[in-house]
Amino acid sequence: MSTRRDDGLRVAIVGGGIGGLAAAAFLERAGVKAVVYEQARELKEVGAGLVVAPNAARLIRRLGGLDMLEQRAVPLDVGWEFRRWRDGTVLSAENLAGACERLYGERTYTVHRADLLDVVRAAVPSANVRLGRRCVGVEDSGGGVRLRFADGTVEEADVAIGADGVHSVLRGAVTEPSAPEYSGICAFRAVVPAGKAPAFALRRAQTLWIGPGHHLVHYPVSRGQAVNLVAFAPAGDYTKESWSATATVAEFLAEFEGWDARLTDLIRAGGTPGRWALLDRAPLRRWSRGRVSLLGDAAHPMFPFFAQGAAQSIEDGAVLAGCLAADPQDPARALRRYEELRIERTTKLQQVSHARAHLNHLPDGPEQQARDAALQDADPLVANSWIYDYDAETVGATATT
């Protein structure tokens, strides 16, 4: 239950994606006034699926959204099922059913991005979301912030949070502007209707096919009514970073020529795929300045190879809320504390996600054979306890210590 503070602290959040709405929801839960400004005229998520690991699931439960999530998501029974590219040989697989709850108190789910956005939005009062508002700049006067919008309007608040993605407008207010670099990797994506998907792809499993220069991931979403398919390949001279861009099925298949026929059949069943270039940014040394701060991809964009991008945005929102609720009289100090509590963890996740691309894409040979042997002995559910055991609300509650 929200217990509104009397101090009247006003927080402006630029960006109505999963991270921005999560921040608004946790601020509401902490009794802090937050308004979300989103440039689109309707809230929606393009793209496809994502993984909701225990560290995110426990926060969604706190927001009262777990029942809604379970109505739309797929609880995983198997995770990290690595398969060899040529023949589908299973290199390793982890039993998640029961193990996640025993270790971390929550299950791991797969969900369509649009469904997760709906779950988080349900925790934010509709009056606190302003659509069709494209922010073009922010000014910090020391005693407050002024946000300028493309329609010529200006809004004032005590704090501004940039949840506006890798091309963040607010990022320039806290650090030197710099263009993201192209990673040399591009991604393909598709959503395959369950009726067209082969049975092996409908299992409640997160499967990763790994091979020379490429890897492909698939898992069911939308209560098992579809299969999310995302694949990674060398980008060549392709540099378009847009989730509305498409490729042809032939282009997608050409990248996976010679791979297991079950996989290429799955690609064909997905129809016209999306395609985008992965952008790369070095971790920031700071993401707060004065009364302006960042969260999610605006602060720490990461490769999707640990499936933690959305989870880290949600965690940011929970810690941010704890810090601002604990120190409303000095928002700049609260934002510095938020950064201190988050930056080491998100930087580490950026780094390990980046390194995973090399391991997944090894050419056949001695190094690949050593990797495959290591996978057989691995226990990623336990090895990644530093990710899944983290409780962002508890961390946020330490804001005054």
Active site residue 219: yes
- Residues 6+ away with beta carbon under 8 Å from 36: 13, 15, 16, 20, 21, 24, 124, 128, 129, 130
Choose among 15, 63, 48: nearest CA to 294. Answer: 15
List all residues 6 or more positions away from 95 whose beta carbon is below 8 Å from its beta carbon: 77, 78
Question: What burial class does residue 1 get, using C-beta atoms within 10 Å of its C-beta: 0-12 exposed, 13-18 middle, 19+ buried?
Answer: exposed
CB 202 within 8 A of CB 316: no
Tell me how many helices (H) and strands (E) the chain has. Answer: 14, 19
- Nearest of 266, 260, 259, 250 to residue 196 by alpha carbon: 266
- Cα 285 to Cα 298: distance, rounded to the nearest angstrom: 13
Q: Please report how many Cα atoms fall inside a 13 Å half-sphere around the Cα of residue 246, on the Cβ side.
A: 9
**Distance separating alpha carbons of residues 309 and 296, to the nearest angstrom:** 7
**Cα angle at 52 between 48 and 323, to 5 degrees?**
115
Residues 96, 79 contacting (CB under 8 angstroms): yes
Kindly name the residue from 104, 219, 238, 388 that is annotated as catalytic.
219
CB 354 within 8 A of CB 279: no
Distance in angstroms (rounded) separating the CA atoms of residues 26 and 29: 5
**β-strand pairing of 154-157 with 145-149:** antiparallel
**Residue 58 Cα to chain centre, angstroms:** 16
Give the span between the Cα atoms of 352 and 177, in whole angstroms: 25
Known catalytic residues?
219
